[in-house]
Amino acid sequence: MAGVVEKRLADLGIVLPTPVAPVANYVPFVRTGNFMVVSGQLCLDAEGQLVAKGQLGAGVSIEDGQKAARACAINILAQIKNALGDLDKIARVVRLGGFINSAPGFPDGPKVMNGASDLVVAAFGDKGRHARSTVGVAALPMDAAVEVEGSFEVS
């Protein structure tokens, strides 16, 4: 039976994709005690295509950036599901780190990153309220528009 978090995702029409395999010599998550780190996830959809490619402030709209950030968050959830078997085992979303592929000076990273934060809070409720850092980077793997990493407390 699906847990509380997965039911919320289903209500949002979200089906977790097969977790994306790392593109290199690392692993998608590491757990140390009750603390779990999830590797940076790109804005890939369920077919492995980039939801948005290129830079915010230079071709990618804020709205498309938000969709990209949301896709990153969904990929993080897919990695957690794969790691723990049940998303309800997350006691707290500790931190999300948002990397926004940005033209110099692009000021609206937080608006873009809300695409990830809103999804996580919708999925986990109060347990989803997280610390966050958002920065605009010069480049991302595959020229993805957004990459998000996360850390979590596991119950």
Residues engaged in binding a copy of itself (CB under 8 A) = 22-30, 32-35, 37-40, 54-55, 57, 91-97, 99-111, 113-114, 117-118, 121, 129-143, 147, 149, 151, 153
Q: How far, CA to CA in Å, does 51 sit from each of 22, 36, 42, 65, 144? A: 18, 26, 9, 9, 8
Q: Which helix (H) or strand (E) holds 150?
A: strand 146-154
Smallest distance from the beta carbon of 1 to a copy of itself, in angstroms?
28
Q: Which is nearer to a copy of itself, 67 or 132 (CB)?
A: 132
Nearest-angstrom CA–CA distance, 46 and 26: 21
One-letter identity of residue 10: A
Q: Which is nearer to a copy of itself, 10 or 139 (CB)?
A: 139
Q: Which is nearer to a copy of itself, 1 or 73 (CB)?
A: 73
Smallest distance from the beta carbon of 97 to a copy of itself, in angstroms?
7
CB atoms within 10 A of CB 137: 14
Smallest distance from the beta carbon of 7 to a copy of itself, in angstroms?
21
Nearest-angstrom CA–CA distance, 44 and 126: 27
